[in-house]
Chain A
Amino acid sequence: MTETIEGSAAVAHVVRNCEPDVVACYPITPSTHIAEDLAKMYANGEIKKYITVESEFSAISAIMGASAAGGRSFSTTSSQGLALMHEAIFAAAGLRLSPVMCVANRALSAPLNIWNDHEDTIAERDSGWLQIYCETNQETVDAIPQAFKVAESAYIPAMVCMDGFYLTHAVEQIDVPKTEMIRSYLPKFKPFARLDPENPVSIGAYAFPADYQNFREDLHRDLIASKAKVRKAHDEMAKLTGRSYGDGLLEQYRMEDADYIFMGLGSVMGTAKEAVDRMRAKGEKVGALRVRCFRPFPGEELAKALAGKKSVAVFEKDYSLGASAPMYAELVEALYQKPEAPVLSSFVGGLGGKDMTVENVESLLAKIKDAKRHSEWV
């Protein structure tokens, strides 16, 4: 049953319904309401443990410790908060822990800006975490139990990324999965090894040069292999809720006979679907392709989805300064020397909340009809 609530409140509700052992948050806009609502729930006895830490670095440290002790753990943050966690973010993945974090995506300083883009999470793309980018609040609340399921079975931490303000502060109709449903979906977290005073073990011991690289390669291979788990976790929940998001990795919208494709991450893709419908009504063969799972990167799946298309506008709210747009570069790599690969154009926009409208999407789709390679900040 849907209720009309704020995206952040809905996230707090679903986290509570996942019955975490430990939540640790340090508030930062635009993730603050999630942290506040979870704190209220703890005060009401609805959550087992909520630690009010003194910084984001402590928040990530606390949920790592909880996960290492065999607990289901959660945090939320944004922008500078995520950046402050950076050192521990890599360690959480290297230690093969299973926390879930909801990142309310926001621009990085400087200049100071509280609005949405994807610079914060894209900067953590090399860390070894899963990254799911959600288009809607409904998808975000559905993705959180899925993230726990994958993280706790693959021993890989997971970020669920929701656009700051566009989703976190949007009040709309949302069906929050209930505790009973989540209990039937999400098994108890039983890690293969955990910190236990009765049976002491060491987690994250030193690795000599002969071993270190093997650990990193294992993590990479397991992350790639977790694509199957992401799909399965998505499909199993779709059976319970009746709601699906493509195949869990990619969502294709009116792609079957499309020649020109708009590709992107997150909430802008709802706007893109509207643009596609308007252009289709005028007889234009356009479609939209949403990358839901950015880590692991669905390179092979993208090559298959785009084979035979004429031209693709890759839209990103992030940039690798001094180089190129990260998703664009990764798509180029995925399609290199593939037969029937389309022409790929890179458009960077929406930084720091610069609004991306239906008309903006339409103009990019019109631009790539010349089947030439464009690279622009829009």
Chain B
Amino acid sequence: MIMEEARFHGRGGQGAVTAAEILAVAAGLQDKHSQAFPFFGVERRGAPVMSFCRIDSKPVRIHQQVYEPGYIIILDASLINANITKGLKQGGKAIVNTKKTKEELASQLGLAPANVFVVDATGIALKNLGRPIVNTAMLGAFSKVTGIVELDSVKKAVQQRFPAKLAETNVKAVEDCFNQVK
């Protein structure tokens, strides 16, 4: 396989870093090589955070940020500005947590509707977790849209990360996002 690169956009406290880490674990469960790491401005709740995940069939040896992702995952649509799609590969896909339609987001992001995927992850998180933490849920959407990691791997990675009860509600959020992403 050619190395896949994903970039997560969120705010401090929303779990963008954890999302990239769980994705790396999920890839590892499929005997792939992966590398997840964060980049942020200040270590504060609410501040914009980026995190990266690389997935490859061979060991990842580069240690640099992701500049040309094949996928961007936007946990918080209020972060959308002219720079958010920067470097996104030709034909690259954006997965957005929003109540808006695919077409509305496509126009906001300046991308073709075919490359934009939307899901109300906040609603799903509130229903399942009782809190608007969407990071795990969005990995369900990532699995459905990209097929790079299987739903089962994401669920197993979530179960490894959290204590049993918390894992259970997060897995439900993952499944809901997998089923509802459009």
Residue A123 is within 8 A (CB to CB) of chain B in the complex: no
Asked if B64 and A4 make an inter-chain contact with CB atoms under 8 angstroms apart, the answer reads: no
**CA of A163 to CA of B62 in the docked complex: distance in angstroms?**
13
Residue A345 is within 8 A (CB to CB) of chain B in the complex: no
Asked if B61 and A136 make an inter-chain contact with CB atoms under 8 angstroms apart, the answer reads: yes
CB within 8 Å of A: which of B28-63? Answer: 28-29, 33-39, 43, 59-63
**CA of A163 to CA of B24 in the docked complex: distance in angstroms?**
20
Nearest-neighbour CB distance to chain B for A268, whole angstroms, equals 7
**Chain A 157-194 per-residue mask, 1 if CB under 8 angstroms from chain B, else 0:** 00000010111011111000000000000000000000
Contacts of A356 in B (CB 8 A): 64
Asked if A274 and B61 make an inter-chain contact with CB atoms under 8 angstroms apart, the answer reads: yes
Asked if B59 and A167 make an inter-chain contact with CB atoms under 8 angstroms apart, the answer reads: no
Given known contacts A171-B21, A171-B37, A172-B33, A3 and B61 CB-to-CB distance under 8 angstroms: no
Residue A79 is within 8 A (CB to CB) of chain B in the complex: no
Asked if A6 and B62 make an inter-chain contact with CB atoms under 8 angstroms apart, the answer reads: no
Residue B162 is within 8 A (CB to CB) of chain A in the complex: no
In the complex, which of the residues B17, B21, B34, B64 contacts A173, with contact meaning CB atoms closer than 8 Å? B34
Asked if A165 and B62 make an inter-chain contact with CB atoms under 8 angstroms apart, the answer reads: no
**CA of A305 to CA of B122 in the docked complex: distance in angstroms?**
57
Nearest-neighbour CB distance to chain B for A278, whole angstroms, equals 11
Nearest-neighbour CB distance to chain A for B50, whole angstroms, equals 12
Contacts of B60 in A (CB 8 A): 172
Asked if A170 and B35 make an inter-chain contact with CB atoms under 8 angstroms apart, the answer reads: yes
**CA of A92 to CA of B62 in the docked complex: distance in angstroms?**
35
Contacts of B134 in A (CB 8 A): none
**A-B pairs with beta carbons under 8 Å apart, 14 shown:** A3-B28, A4-B24, A4-B28, A136-B61, A163-B63, A165-B38, A166-B37, A167-B63, A169-B17, A169-B37, A271-B62, A271-B64, A355-B65, A357-B67
What 4 pairs across the A-B complex have the smallest Cβ distances?
Answer: A4-B28, A270-B61, A267-B63, A171-B36
Interface contacts beyond A171-B25, A173-B34, A173-B59: sample of 20 additional A-B pairs, CB < 8 Å, sorted by A: A3-B28, A4-B34, A6-B21, A29-B43, A163-B63, A166-B63, A167-B63, A169-B37, A170-B63, A171-B20, A171-B24, A172-B34, A268-B63, A271-B61, A271-B62, A355-B64, A355-B65, A357-B64, A358-B62, A358-B64
